[in-house]
Amino acid sequence: MKLRGEPEPLLIRGGRVIDPAQGIDAEMDVLLGDGVVRQLGHDLEADGARVFEARGLWVVPGLIDMHVHLREPGEEWKEDIASGTRAAAAGGFTTVVAMANTRPPVDDASMVNSILARAAEKAVVHVLPVGAVTRGLEGKELAEMGDMAEAGAVAFSDDGHPIADAEVMRCALEYGHTFAKPIIDHCQEPSLTRDAVMHLGYWSTVLGLRGMPAVAEEIMVARDIMLARLTGGKVHIAHASTRGTVDLLRVARTEGLPVTAEATPTHLCLTDRLVHDTAYDTSTKVNPPLRAAEDVEALRRALAEGVIEAIATDHAPHHRDDKEVEYNYAAFGISGLETALPLLLTELVHTGIIPAATLVERLTAGPARILGLEAGSLRVGGCADVTVIDPGLEKSVDPDRFYSKGKNTPLAGRKLRGWPVLTVVAGQVVMREGGVLA
C-alpha cells in the first residue's frame, strides 16, 4: 500500500465494540500500535498515543468487500487502484478483493504480481487479487490457477462472464479444491438472458424492456451445487439475487456442501420497480438485475439466518458516456463502495430487519471465513484494521463527492443514516470524518 511511515499508537476510547468473531458487543477501548491490535479493555491508558473519542459510535473490525471492480489495468478512465481504494476507505472498507475481468484479464501469475505491485504503490487499503478461472475469460480453457494461487490470488472467478461449460466448471472446482480456493461464479444461463436489460416481471412488461428470468440464475446455481457435491470443491455464488437461489442455497446448507454466497446492498435494498420510478434511469441497470419485492424479502431472510454469509458491493464504476445513453445500450453496474454501509444501516438495521451485529458479521468475519483470510476481527495481535461508524449520522448521497471515478448510482440525493467516520488500515488512519487522508 501507499501508506508511508510507522503508524503511531492510537487509542479508540469508549465506543461500542462489535466484533462477532469474538462474540463481543460492549462499550470498550481499543488500543492499536505497531500496526496491530494491542489491547481491548476498559479505561486503557497509553502514553503518547493519539486518542479518538468514540462514545456513541460503533467500533468494528475493518470491513471486507470481497467483490470489487477496480478497472485497472485497461479501463483507468472508469476507475483505477488509487481512486477505487480511496472510495473503499471513504466507505469504511479496509480490504477489497479485486475481480479479474480487467483488460487484459488477470489470468496468469504475472498479472497477479502486477496487481499486487500496483497496489503496493497506489492503494490505501489492502487489495487482494482474484485470478480468472479461464484464459481470457473465454470459458474454454482453464487459466494457470496453481501459479496464480502461489502468486497471491485469493480466489478464482470469471465474474462478468458465466462459466457456461459444465465440464470446465467441474475441472475448475477440482483444481480450486487442490489449492483450497473458492470458485466465485457469476451464475447466469446466457441463452436465457441474451439482450435482456432488467428483471423479467411485471415492471419489465410495463416498461417494454426485455427481461432476465430468475430461473436463468437458478439453473446455474443448481448446477454449481451439484458439481460441488461431485467434486468437493468450494463454490461461491456471486451476487445471489432471487428467491429460488435462496431455496437452493438452503438445500446445499442442509447437506453441508462447500457452497457459500454473497448478496449486494443493491439487491438487499432495491427492487425492479425503481426502474419505473426513476423513468428509465440507467443507474438502475445492474447485472443481475434489480429483482422483485419477494426476491428482496427472501434475500433478507437468508442474510439474517446465515444462509447468505457475506455482503459484497459488486462495485462497478462506469464513465458517464457508458450510462448517458438509452437504457438498452447502457452498461451494467452501480458504483457502490461509498454508499454500501449507510444504505444497509438505513434499510436493514435501523428498520429492525437484522441486528447490527449480524450486519457487521456479514461484512467482516463472513467474507474472511469464505476466503480463508486472517482478518475480520479485532483479536489482539491481529492486523489493526478498524472501522468506526456513527449510526446516527444522516447525510444525502452526493455522487459528485465520491472518491470513485464512477458516479453511477441510483441513490443520488437520497438521505441515508449511519456513515463511517474513521477507517484505519494496519494502524494508519486513512479516512476521518469522510475525508480520505492518504
- The residues annotated as belonging to the active site are 314
Per-residue b or e along 165-181, where b marks 16 or more CB atoms closer than 10 Å to that residue's CB: eeebbbbbbbbbbeeeb
- Beta strand pairing call for 10-19 and 24-33: antiparallel
**Opening angle at CA 283, ends 431 and 184, nearest 5:** 70
From CA 359, how far away is CA 342, in angstroms rounded? 12
Q: Are 342 and 391 spatial neighbours (Cβ–Cβ below 8 Å)?
A: no
Per-residue b or e along 137-152, where b marks 16 or more CB atoms closer than 10 Å to that residue's CB: bebeebbbbbebbebe
Q: Are 232 and 177 spatial neighbours (Cβ–Cβ below 8 Å)?
A: yes
From CA 148, how far away is CA 245, in angstroms rounded? 30
**Cβ within 8 Å of residue 406, ≥6 positions away:** 78, 79, 315, 316, 317, 318, 319, 333, 335
Query: Cell 502468486 sits at which residue?
Result: 151
Q: Report, in angstroms and rounded to the nearest whole number, the Rg of the chain calculated over CA atoms.
A: 21
CB atoms within 10 A of CB 113: 16
Query: Cell 471486507 sits at which residue?
Result: 64
Q: Are 26 and 67 spatial neighbours (Cβ–Cβ below 8 Å)?
A: no
Side by side, which strands form the sheet with 259-263?
Answer: 156-157, 183-185, 235-237, 259-263, 310-311
